[in-house]
Amino acid sequence: MSNLEDYKNVWVFIETEEGKAKNVGYELLTPARNLADQKKEKLVAIVIGYKVEDVAKQSIAHGADEAIVVDGEEYNIFSTDAYANALTTLIEKYKPSTVLLGATNNGRDVGPRVSCRLGTGLTADCTGLGIDEESGNVAWTRPAFGGNLMATILCPNTRPQMGTVRPGVFKRTPPDASRTGKITHEEIHTAADAIRTKILKRVKEVAEEVNLEEAEYIVSGGRGLGKPENFCYIRDLASVLKGTVGSSRAAVDAGWIAHAHQVGQTGKTVAPKIYIACGISGAIQHLAGMSDSDIIIAINKDPDAPIFNVADYGVVGNLFDIVPLLTEEIKKHKA
């Protein structure tokens, strides 16, 4: 293996599908920019897809210094074999010190395969990134032991340092159209017989319509709702705010609402402008998914509920009285 000093620059994998970038890649450019600046290295966007030149330009506008593009028809729709081949080939050629991927279905698929081929470590499902002052390694923070504590993980002996980061943890910075940077095209093709899977049919699930990661207003319900019918209170309030309905794990496990709405360690990580938690006690697994919200409002009849420790505003009382009042007041204000 090469010396660790041979590895330079911070890479972000900009996930694409059918020529369009997924939001998480642009989000990751925000913490990656900080890492690159601290390490005095370049920030490089890695764009694999088909007809993705514009994605490379947008990546530079969102903070990357350069972009490397692998463009080919076989990359139009994600396949593990093609993407793992392209990404591994790039890393072996350029030797980045750090690689960030989104903890999406595709990122969680390709990341471990690439790290295994390279013989390096990968920290999955991170919610925080920093630099360990003593060693200079990337400090990856993720929930551990069922979300009951946060672990900080280092990869001191191998390169690149790789990690997947949850969508919604970081906010993407507004694009700056005046930013320019070098775009390098690499011809890497994956033979058809090397791609062992093919998509026969795509079925759009209703779950795709629940876009918690990009919502500005989220109203979430928990065990305190008592029964599935009472989610009507949550939906009414979310509707007047033009927001999205979320839930705690308890409500999902009880079968009251689909998993697509779940916020927390085993659900979505969100960072809306306003997060309203109704009848949610605030277990650490739930807090791991929403504590970066700009404003947190908690409504709970238990004054000792842990949710009040992170809330900016707390209302101690019966949600069945308070939520309809809040909904009506917002309606009046908007009128």
Q: Where are the domains of the chain?
A: 4-194, 206-334
Mean pLDDT value of segment 162-182: 92
Task: Provide the pLDDT confidence category of residue 2 given band limits of 50, 70 and 90.
Answer: low
Is 286 marked within a binding site?
A: yes
Residues 176 and 204: their CA atoms lie apart, in Å, by: 34
Task: Provide the pLDDT confidence category of residue 145 given band limits of 50, 70 and 90.
Answer: confident
Integer-rounded Cα Rg, in Å, for the chain is: 22
Q: Same topology for domains 4-194 and 206-334, yes or no?
A: yes
Is 265 marked within a binding site?
A: yes
DSSP codes, 212-256: -TT-SEEEEE-GGG-SGGGHHHHHHHHHHTT-EEEE-HHHHHTTS
Per the omega criterion (within 30 degrees of 0), is the bond before 31 cis?
no
**38-42 contacts: CB < 8 A, separation 24 or more?**
38/131, 39/10, 39/97, 39/98, 39/131, 39/136, 41/8, 41/9, 41/10, 41/97, 42/8, 42/9, 42/10, 42/66
Is 58 marked within a binding site?
A: no
DSSP, res 81: H
Mean pLDDT value of segment 198-224: 82
Mean pLDDT value of segment 7-32: 95
Q: Is the pLDDT of residue 208 over 50?
A: no
Task: Provide the pLDDT confidence category of residue 137 given band limits of 50, 70 and 90.
Answer: very high
| CB 280 within 8 Å of CB 307 | yes
Task: Provide the pLDDT confidence category of residue 209 given band limits of 50, 70 and 90.
Answer: low
Q: Is the pLDDT of residue 24 over 90?
A: yes
For the domain bounded by 206-334, which CATH number is listed? Answer: 3.40.50.1220
Is 281 marked within a binding site?
A: yes
pLDDT digits (tens, 9 = 90+) for 82-117: 999 999 999 999 999 999 999 999 999 999 999 999
| pLDDT the model gives residue 211 | 85
274, two tokens = 């306003």
For the domain bounded by 4-194, which CATH number is listed? Answer: 3.40.50.620
Question: What does pTM read for this prediction?
Answer: 0.76
Is 262 marked within a binding site?
A: yes
Q: Which residue has the tokens 């030797």?
A: 95
Is 300 marked within a binding site?
A: yes
